[in-house]
Amino acid sequence: MSLLIDGFNLIYKFPELESFMYIDKLDEARSGLLNILRSYQRIKKGNITVVFDGKKEPSREIRSESFGSIDVYYSLDYSADYIIKQFVKKDQNPKMVTVVSSDKDIIAFIKRFGAKSITSERFAEIVNHAFEQQRLQEEKMLEEQIKVNPKITEDEISYWQKLFSQKKRNQR
């Protein structure tokens, strides 16, 4: 799996991140999205590349960075749409790339190269479903662990200690 994500397009599909955008907290919104994607990547594995419009910081010309194993690009003077199209156009095997964006222009462009697409809305649903499945699986494992290794209270420990020490005395 190789995902190429239109960052700001996807941010708006997570309500907790969207609210940051409305109060002009871009860094928090970007970091939140990257944290969500890193958690998703732990579950599903695969390469993730995220492209954000503009600059990371107004005074710095950072073109790319890594967030764990996620590659992050900033479009600087271009649009994220342009950068995403260039990535697909120059990819040696674009059929192995899935672009996450709801931008119809991007979707039409990448299909010409055989890349797959998924809307940001649908991808957000997939991510949330993966998290829910992970949570349910962890709960099930915890329940199984409790069945195998139940907790013993201090009173129960004391009772059994007394019982066994009495048996030892009686056997002597």
Cα–Cα nearest to 87, from 56, 69, 113:
113
Q: What percent of the chain has pLDDT over 90?
A: 71
Domain region containing 115: 2-126
Dig out the tokens for 71 from the structure: 């590659």
Q: Is 117 helix (H, G, I), strand (E, B) or coil?
A: strand
Q: Is the pLDDT of residue 25 over 80?
A: yes
pTM, to two decimals: 0.79
Question: Is position 67 within any domain?
Answer: yes
**Is residue 115 assigned to a domain?**
yes
pLDDT per position as a tens digit, 35-86: 999 999 999 999 999 999 988 877 777 899 999 999 999 999 899 999 999 9
For the chain, what is the domain count? 1
Residue 8: inside a domain, yes or no? yes
Q: What is the CATH number of the domain that holds 67?
A: 3.40.50
43 inside domain: yes
